[in-house]
């Protein structure tokens, strides 16, 4: 039951509308979980509260493949979204302005003398 005297702005603060980034990440995560479930030949990745349903023998090669796939997927996702030097640089480039070309971390800059 809703409170007729409640301020609609209060609901917006407690349940903010998810950003497009959050929705895309949720979609990507759901796809990866489906892939892992298929790769491991499991009905579900949910905890069901019984050892016979929740514990499985998994070959090392399957674990290796899942870790490799997760890493490569995350790497591709990072390249796809434009996180070259961080979100600020991507925003600058999207706005048509030149983003800083030097890494912010001097250890990453081979020409740094510090």
Q: pLDDT tens-digit profile of 39-86?
A: 999 999 999 999 999 999 999 999 999 999 988 888 777 766 654 456
pTM: 0.52
Reported in sequence order, the residue ranges of 1-114 that DSSP labels E, i.e. its strands, are none
Residue with tokens 């081979």: 110
User: Over pLDDT 70: what percentage of the chain?
Assistant: 57
């Amino acid at each position: 039951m809703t409170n007729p005297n409640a301020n609609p702005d209060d609901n917006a603060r407690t349940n903010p509308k998810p950003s497009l980034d959050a929705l895309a990440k949720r979609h990507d995560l759901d796809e990866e979980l489906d892939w892992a479930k298929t790769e491991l030949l499991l009905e579900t990745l949910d905890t069901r509260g019984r050892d016979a349903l929740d514990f499985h023998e998994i070959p090392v090669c399957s674990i290796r493949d899942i870790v490799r796939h997760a890493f490569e997927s995350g790497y591709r996702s990072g390249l796809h979204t434009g996180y070259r030097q961080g979100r600020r640089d991507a925003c600058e480039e999207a706005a048509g302005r030149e983003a800083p070309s030097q890494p912010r971390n001097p250890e990453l800059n081979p020409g740094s003398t510090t």
